[in-house]
Every structure is written in structure tokens, then in C-alpha cells.
Amino acid sequence: MANNKRVKRVSVVSPARNEEGNIKEFVARTAAALEKLNCEYQIIVVDDASTDKTPAILEKLKSRYKELKVVHNKKAKGITNSLNVGFKYTSYPTIIFLPSDLESNPSEDIPDLLESYEQGNDFVIGWRYNKRDNRIKRATTFLFNKLVGALFKDVKLHDLGWVKCFDREILDNIEPLRSDWHRFLAVLAITEGYRVKEIKTKYYPRKRGVSKFGKFGLGRIQGAFFDLLAIKFFSIFSKKPMHMFGLMGLIFTLIGLIFGVYLLYLHFISFSEVDKKIPFVILTSLFILVGTVFFSIGILAEYLVSIMEKLKKIK
């Protein structure tokens, strides 16, 4: 369990795409909130190839806010890849992720996130408890949370995709983010044994601009199921690969042995001509061979994981 800590240096990372109506106020609120906390900070805004005035506004803001770092993507990369870009520019050990569309209020969320973080939590995530979605979105969110809970027993969170505050070191100890894995940062942190805390935060409906997820948020659903399966796979593979490959090897080997016993029965008990059962001979050999291959992969994977763990200790 982590000890209580006093945050002195904070990096705020926020992707922005076509937020000309919000970005100026977002930067102002974020800077004001951090100034009140009397800590060193930096604000990193990743312009995700905006086609409106967002890039020009950000460039002008740099002269007013010396702590503001602006990174421009030459082509749209999406939230996860934009966050990866922003994380590379972070200089401080505590990272806060906020959306730049002002659906989150930095003046409220930054102090609340840091307060919980300073209580000894490694990762703090916000829950939009007052958000009122339409029935379709409520239903999909409910089913999605149930799926997450089924695959990851220790994850009991209401809102995976909202504001976050966490240790910079977590990014070095989880699977590299790709696809839309920014939604699953808390899940990845929990699987690595970090202490994750959920707090209530207010949600403010967007006043300017258009949501990048569409009216019903259906854009979030595409690929989410397969992303979860991939994360589940890596959470097992990266820790105990033999448990997965060994089980698969055992299943295939047992099936092959069953076919083999059947062939022996035909030959020695029923006195059937085995050469008429060539398909069973082939299947027996094939299943045992595949089972052996899976066992071998499992052993090699365990060896690779062992090497990776030793390298981490050296670092």
C-alpha cells in the first residue's frame, strides 16, 4: 500500500481536436487550478491535426502561459495515440488526464483528483455520477461494465473513460497503450497491482463543438470488446504464459491420447484393421503434435518473461 504523499510536480496531458470554442478557457482554468495548489506544473496539449482554429489559438496561448507545451500531430491519431505523444513530453512524476472540451471542470477536478491521490492511491479516476445519458448509451455502458467485471474480477468501477490522476511509473509497467486502450488505463493499473480509487466528479454537458464519439456514444463500442479480450490475454500472458499455453497443450494432448486409446481398442480388442482407420491415426498424431507445440511455446514464453523481469530489476 502506498504511503501518503505531497504532490509537488504535476503534468496535465490533454488531447484536443477542433476545440476552438473551448481550448482557451480550458488552458486558463487548468493553469488557475494548478497555481492555487502552489506546485510546479506543465500543461501539455496535443493538437490532433485540428482543421479549425485550435492550432493557431494554442500557439498564441504559449506566449501567455510559459508552462504550456503544445504538440501538433500532422495527421489525426485519435485519443490514445495522442495521449502517448503527450506522455513522452511529461517531465513530472504525477500525471493528470483531462478532456479539453470542458465537460470536465479543471477548477474542481484537479484539486479533487490530487487530494485523493495524496492519500496514498497510485491511480485516481473520476466517475461522472450526475451524467444523464439516453437509454441506448445507458444500456451499452451497463453491458460494457458487466463485461469488464466478468473478465477482471478486481475491477469495480463505474466510469473507465473519464478524468484520471496517476503515477508516471505506471506507464512503464503496463502494456503499451494502443487502439483505444486509454479507456482501460485503470484496468491495466489494477492488473499490475496498483491501488486504484474512484471518486465522484461532476459532468458538464458540452456547450461548444461536437462530441467525437457521436450522439449516442456508439463510437466507443467499436472494437471495445476485442480490446478487452486483448488486454485480458496480455494480462495472463505477461505474468503466467504457461497457464494459458500449457492448458491448451494439455487439451490437445488429451484429445490425441483419447484417439490413440480408441485405435488400440480397435486393434487389440475388436481386432479391426487399423489401416482402415487412417483418419484417426492422422488425428491422433496431429493433436499430440499440436499439444507438444503449445507446451514448447509455453516454456519459451516463461523463459522470455523471466528475462524481462530480470531486465526490469536491472533498470
- Give pLDDT tens digits for 112-125: 999 999 999 999 99
pLDDT number for residue 154: 86
pLDDT number for residue 216: 45
Domain 9-237: give its CATH architecture. Answer: Alpha-Beta Complex (3.90)
- Spatial CA neighbour of 43 closest among 10, 73, 17, 19: 10
Span of 35-39, 111-115, 179-183 with lowest mean pLDDT:
179-183
Query: In angstroms, rounded to a whole number, what is the distance separating the alpha carbons of residues 143 and 136?
Result: 11
Name every residue whose Cβ is closer than 8 Å to that of residue 300 and which is 6 or more positions away in sequence. Answer: none
Helix (H/G/I), strand (E/B), else coil: 311: helix
pLDDT number for residue 12: 98
- Can you read off the three cell numbers belonging to residue 38? 502552489
More confident residue, 28 or 233: 28
Q: Strand pairing of 94-97 and 9-16?
A: parallel
pLDDT number for residue 4: 65
More confident residue, 276 or 23: 23
- Can you read off the three cell numbers belonging to residue 212? 467525437
Q: Give the model's confidence band at 213: pLDDT under 50 very low, under 70 low, under 90 confident, else very high.
A: very low
- Can you read off the three cell numbers belonging to residue 18? 477542433
- How high does pLDDT run on average in the chain? 87
Query: In angstroms, rounded to a whole number, what is the distance separating the alpha carbons of residues 46 and 158?
Result: 27
pLDDT number for residue 218: 53
In this model, does residue 232 exceed pLDDT 80? yes
Query: In angstroms, rounded to a whole number, what is the distance separating the alpha carbons of residues 166 and 44?
Result: 16
State pTM to two decimals. Answer: 0.78
* Span 131-152, average pLDDT: 83
Q: Is 64 exposed, middle or buried (0-12, 13-18, 19+ CB in 10 A)?
A: exposed
Q: Which helix (H) or strand (E) holds 127?
A: strand 123-128
* Angle at 304 (CA atoms; ends 303, 310), nearest 5 degrees: 90
In this model, does residue 219 exceed pLDDT 60? no
Q: Which amino acid is at 232?
A: K
Phi first, then psi: what are they for 165, rounded to 5°? -140, 130
Q: Strand pairing of 68-72 and 40-47?
A: parallel
- Can you read off the three cell numbers belonging to residue 133? 445519458
Span of 87-96, 186-195, 199-208, 209-218 with lowest mean pLDDT:
209-218
Query: In angstroms, rounded to a whole number, what is the distance separating the alpha carbons of residues 11 and 181?
Result: 20
